[in-house]
Chain A
Amino acid sequence: MTASAHPANHEVHPRHRLNETIHAPVRFSIVAALAGADQVEFSFVRDTVEVSDSVLSKQVATLESAGVVRVKKGYVGKRPRTWLSLTAFGRRAFQEHRAALREIAGG
């Protein structure tokens, strides 16, 4: 095996570093909206990303099961509220995803 043919010597294309869970457009938008703050209310994310409650719930469930998003439920007075936030893993994964996108965008 020549030096150039050794897999370790090949540069991995940045697309291989894209996170499959985050990459889907709606999930990407949800994570991006959460990245701008520590904790965001469900309805704020819904309005910002412009999706229905149902779509947001489904995508958040996927992100939650992947450990990217944390869901916290509570009450303000008698009204139930759901808070979404990125986990430390989710924040790191999003940064790496963005870095890979930046490399692809740079050509």
Chain B
Amino acid sequence: MAPSDHPVTPVTPVPPLTPEEAGDRLDVADTLAATSGTAAARYATIPMAAVGLLAGTVLFACEGFAFSPWVSAIWVTVYVGALGASISWQYRRAPVLDHRWSLGLVAALGFTLVLCAIGIAWSAVRSPSLVVFAPYCVLVALPMALPALRTARR
């Protein structure tokens, strides 16, 4: 039976609580909140890692084609599509969702975007060789991929 079809359980007055009982309740609350919080973080690892890995891959791919506008547009479309697919997977499959990103994750995303912008500018001004540019693209992927890996191991 679905929750809203159920009869409502009568609410009884709050019985007196000892400080120990109150402390136990708080411990229970912390444990349960941590359980769902950790699960939510774990299910967020795929979209999280995808942001970094795809950003690095697309940057490398665009440089590989000398930032030809058409090829770049295709790669950016692939990037947005793949990112959308991973987020959609999270929404459909994950039993726990949390949209509240930690400050560290927001900083990691910001860092990724800054590295991407530097990479585009570097490539446009100097046209570096792929041997030099490839490690830079790996560096672009790291700020998001590393927290994802750390979360997955939790």
Contact = CB atoms under 8 A, between A and B. Distances in A.
A36 interface: yes
Interface string A65-104: 1100001010010000010100000000000001001101
Contacts of B100: 38
B7 A58 contact: yes
Contact of B11 (A20, A39, A48): A20
Given A58-B9, A61-B3, A61-B4, A39 B29 contact: no
B2 A49 contact: no
B95 interface: yes
Interface residues of B, number: 41
A58 B6 contact: yes
Interface in B93-133: 93, 95-100
A36 B95 CA distance: 13
Contacts of B23: 105
Contacts of B34: 36
A104 B2 contact: no
Contacts of A58: 6-7, 9
B137 to A, nearest CB: 33
Interface stretch (B12-20, B49-57, B141-149): B12-20
Q: Give the bracket for the number of chain A residues in contact with chain B.
A: 35 or more
B19 A105 contact: yes
30 contacts: A18-B14, A20-B14, A21-B11, A23-B14, A28-B25, A29-B32, A32-B30, A37-B96, A38-B98, A39-B97, A42-B3, A43-B95, A44-B36, A44-B39, A44-B95, A48-B32, A48-B35, A57-B3, A60-B3, A61-B5, A61-B8, A62-B8, A62-B9, A64-B4, A71-B2, A73-B2, A84-B3, A105-B23, A105-B26, A106-B19
Interface of B: 1-9, 11-14, 16-17, 19-20, 22-23, 25-26, 28-30, 32-40, 92-93, 95-100
Given A15-B14, A40-B36, 16 more contacts: A21-B11, A24-B11, A36-B34, A37-B40, A39-B96, A41-B95, A57-B1, A64-B4, A66-B11, A71-B2, A71-B4, A82-B2, A102-B22, A102-B26, A105-B22, A106-B19
